[in-house]
Structure 1
Amino acid sequence: MNKKMGYAWHLRHKMAEHDIFHTSDLVPLLAERGIALSREHVYRLVTSPPQRLSMDTLVALCDILECTPNDLIEPKIVNETIRKAASDRSAPTPLRRTTIRRPQH
């Protein structure tokens, strides 16, 4: 069985719970914790799920938002392939025959 994992990123929701509605408001809060990110980088961090995130940044966000990593990151199964049992053999789809006709000259 193969699973493709993904995740939901809840940073914007957690920010709203703490009355932080502008992404630029996070910049000084992160800087207070030693995380220097540009406004553009913070904007991308808030508006789209990050592919890479340093542990320092994650810990700073958790401190700012008084939450745990589990509150920010929700693992999800995106695609799951289920193996078919050997006895679960369905009849093959019948072939359809087609006729190709040449245009009349």
Structure 2
Amino acid sequence: MNRRIEYKWRLREIMAARGLNNISDLLPLLTDRGITLSDSQIYRLVGQKPERMSLALLGAITDALECSVEDLCHFEAVSSNSRLRRTVGSTVEPISLNETIQPRRARVRPTDR
């Protein structure tokens, strides 16, 4: 029986729960921890599932967002012979975004002419 591991990358959800709405909010947190990435690298990291990642970057993200690896990645073991899925580490509770996210009021400033 062949099995493969699938995962959900939840960085965007965790950032939103912590009040970080842009990639520019994440950049200084990673820089303080010795990780320097370009804007495009951070954009891909937040928006897409990473296939490879250094442990230093993973450690910096978990430290900056005060979460664990299990919070960032939700793993599932999938059998290719059947359509059954078994969750690996099923003790992870999803973050309720309705309770944790508060919208920020926009400020409109007059332009200087």
Question: What's the TM-score once normalised by structure 2's chain length?
Answer: 0.68
Aligned position for 2:2: 2
- Pair 1:75-2:82 in alignment: no
- Pair 1:46-2:37 in alignment: no
**Structure 2 CA distance, aligned partners of 1:60 and 1:17?**
18
Q: Which residues of 2 match residues 13-52 of structure 1 at below 5 A?
A: 13-52=13-52
**Structure 1 CA distance, aligned partners of 2:81 and 2:24?**
41
Tell me the number of residue pairs that the alignment of Structure 1 and Structure 2 aligns: 82
Question: What's the TM-score once normalised by structure 1's chain length?
Answer: 0.73
Compute the displacement of 1:78 (Å): 4.6
One-letter code of the match for 2:2?
Answer: N
**Structure 1 CA distance, aligned partners of 2:22 and 2:81?**
40
**Structure 2 CA distance, aligned partners of 1:79 and 1:28?**
41
**Structure 1 CA distance, aligned partners of 2:56 and 2:7?**
20
| SS of residue paired to 2:80 | strand
One-letter code of the match for 2:64?
Answer: I
| SS of residue paired to 1:81 | coil
Question: If you compute each CA radius of gyration, which structure gives the higher value, 1 or 2?
Answer: 1
**Structure 2 CA distance, aligned partners of 1:18 and 1:78?**
31
**Percent identity over the alignment?**
43
Compute the displacement of 1:79 (Å): 5.0
Following TM superposition, where does structure 1 have runs of at least 4 consecutive aligned residues deviating by more than 3 angstroms?
none
> Where do 5+ consecutive residues of structure 1 fail to align?
83-105
Deviations 1:7-56 (A, max 9, x none): 00010010011100101211111000000000110000000010001111
Aligned position for 1:86: none
Aligned position for 2:98: none
